[in-house]
Amino acid sequence: MTGKERRQQLLDVARKLFADKGYDGTSVEEIAHRADVSKPVVYEHFGGKEGIYAVVVDREMQIMLDQVVSALSGGHPRAMLEQAARALLTYVEESADGFHILVRDSSVLSAQGTFSNLLNDIASQVEHILATQFSARGYDAKLAPLYAQALVGMVALTGQWWLDARKPKRDEVAAHLVNLAWNGLSHLEHKPKLTLPG
């Protein structure tokens, strides 16, 4: 096996173990054993458990970010919302191990930070789209970050729930998310106020 192939093998083994057992439940010994190598090989490639974990988390975060951001490439705002919701749920469906790693304990040693930071990166992409749409419709574009966080948070938390529930099907979940977000957004008040006594 070449060095590159060995590195990828170790990442694949570690990814599965981190998904199944979490960071604390996984050891260098187990990674080496499952990869049929000695512990020094893991240390040579990654410097230890912390190093391999950081690479696994950073890769998962980049895959998820790329999938969601690429779904925001254009079209009608509702279509972009549908594409983004579907992209996140597709990642959850097709990369359940990766999503488990991200939502469980990605903050342990990741170079990029936490799942929350990833959601902030996605929200920042959504923010630019919303700011343009808000300006075009006469809303205050300075509020786009607030709405971007709300939308991304709604989809991400639903994705966490759906990771275990798996019902209804992905596109139905995405349709319900879009229904809630779009029908709520299509009737925004320009200056919303609470109706409860203060």
pLDDT digits (tens, 9 = 90+) for 89-121: 999 999 999 998 888 765 544 445 567 777 888
Taking the CA atoms of 63, 67, 68 and 70 in sequence, report the sign of the dihedral they define: positive
User: Cβ distance 158 to 86 under 8 Å?
Assistant: no
∠ at Cα 42 (36, 43), nearest 5°?
150
User: Cβ distance 101 to 19 under 8 Å?
Assistant: yes
User: Cβ distance 57 to 114 under 8 Å?
Assistant: no
Domains along the chain with CATH numbers: 3-50 (1.10.10.60), 58-186 (1.10.357.10)
User: Cβ distance 81 to 151 under 8 Å?
Assistant: yes
pLDDT at 95 (0 to 100): 93
CA gap 47, 82 in Å, rounded: 41
How long is the chain?
198
Q: Output the DSSP codes for 78-127.
A: HHHHHHHHHHHHHHHHHTHHHHHHHHHHTTTT-SS--HHHHHHHHHHHHH
Q: Which residue has the tokens 């971007």?
A: 148
Residue 74 reports pLDDT greater than 80? no
Q: Which residue has the tokens 């359940």?
A: 96
Q: pLDDT per residue over 116-166, tens digit each?
A: 777 888 888 888 888 888 888 888 999 999 988 998 889 888 998 998 888
User: Cβ distance 126 to 88 under 8 Å?
Assistant: no
Q: How far is CA 162 from the centre of its chain?
A: 13
pLDDT at 111 (0 to 100): 45
- pTM metric for this prediction: 0.79
CA gap 164, 100 in Å, rounded: 10
DSSP letter for 138, please. Answer: T
